[in-house]
Amino acid sequence: MLITFEGIDGSGKSTQISLLKDKLTSVGKTVRVFREPGGTQISEEIRELLLNTEFHIDSVTELLLFSSARSQLMSEEVLPALEKGEVVILDRFYDSTTAYQGYGRKSLPLNQIQQINSIASHGRTPDFTFYLRLSLDESNHRRAHLSKDRMERAGDEFFANVIKGFDDLAEQEERFIVIEASQSIEVIHESIVKRLSSKLL
């Protein structure tokens, strides 16, 4: 089973992923967790390039680099793990590309981005996507004391468009489960577990 987590920075994805991993492991599942971009040596190197504040990266190049990192992760780790019947949890997947490179950067028309997403994911779609929804104000507030990587420096208008992208996807895609990220860690974890209980627990 492939479970993905989406949302803007500061939405609490990593905390929830770690809690979910522990829960699924405690009931005997083998769980693999990867972050995007990242998760393989090549994909982590690409991540360094993408987040480095010294570079000015053309928006189509950016789209293709995120996609290259994803393709490598899929072929090296995700597809083999799914083949073995393991649960794979991804901290971001191609919905981030639609939201950030499609709605945020507007690098290419959305239908072309969808085609690239399909190629980079080797045709695999998530079984469940948990979208931790957070307002721009709350995201800025939660991250005020942190230094910003190249993507995070994009500014409020960019992030408002990214949120619109995730919201549109949530309306269009049945696999999306929207959870308000302003709730407590425990309440969010419980709703995630509840949604998965009939399938995995």
Binding site for ligand TMP (CB under 6 A): 9, 35-37, 66, 92, 96-97, 100-101, 151-152
- Name the residue number minimizing CB distance to ligand TMP: 100
CB 94, min distance to ligand TMP, A:
7
Please tell me whether residue 64 adopts helix, strand or coil conformation: helix
Closer CB to ligand TMP, residue 29 or residue 167? 167
How far apart CA 72 and CA 158 sit, in angstroms, is 27
Instruction: State which residue, 157 or 190, has the beta carbon closest to ligand TMP.
Output: 157
Which residue number, 29 or 150, has a Cβ lying nearer to ligand TMP?
A: 150
Q: Specify the residue, 92 or 189, whose C-beta has the smaller distance to ligand TMP.
A: 92
Measured from the CB of residue 76, what is the shortest distance to ligand TMP in angstroms? Answer: 16
CB of 23 to ligand TMP, least distance (A): 21
Pairing of strands 176-180, 128-133: parallel
Nearer to ligand TMP, 90 or 200 (CB): 90
DSSP assignment of 137-189: HHHHHHTTTSPP-TTGGG-HHHHHHHHHHHHHHHHH-TTEEEEETTS-HHHHH
List strand residue ranges (DSSP E) for 56-157, in order. Answer: 87-91, 128-133
Contact 99, 11 (CB under 8 A): no
Nearest-approach distance from CB 156 to ligand TMP, in angstroms: 14
| Min separation Cβ 140 and ligand TMP, Å | 14
Burial (Cβ within 10 Å: 0-12, 13-18, ≥19) of residue 54: exposed
